[in-house]
Amino acid sequence: MKKKHFQRVIKEKLQEYALFVVSDREPNIHDWSEDRIECLRPASGLTVALDPMVRALGTL
């Protein structure tokens, strides 16, 4: 689904509701590698499912 289409559908269907996405951790892993910290994004089910939706809605 294209980003603009997704945004339109969400606004039409959920316009009367507040949508909250809550997590007990961020969807990143911080790993010390040699002389720097690397930020990795694991492919967990929740991250794969919700992150694109949250980003498309412009809430991050």
Q: Which residues of 3-21 are buried (b: 16+ CB within 10 A; e: fewer)?
A: eeeeeeeeeeeeeeeeeee
- pLDDT tens track for 27-40: 788 899 888 999 98
Q: Tens of pLDDT along the chain (60 residues)?
A: 677 888 888 888 887 888 787 877 777 888 998 889 999 887 777 777 777 777 777 765
Strands (DSSP E) contained in 1-60 are: 29-33, 36-40
As a whole number of Å, the end-to-end CA separation of the chain is 19
Residue-range domain boundaries for the chain: 3-56
For 51, residues 6+ apart whose C-beta sits below 8 A from its C-beta are 27
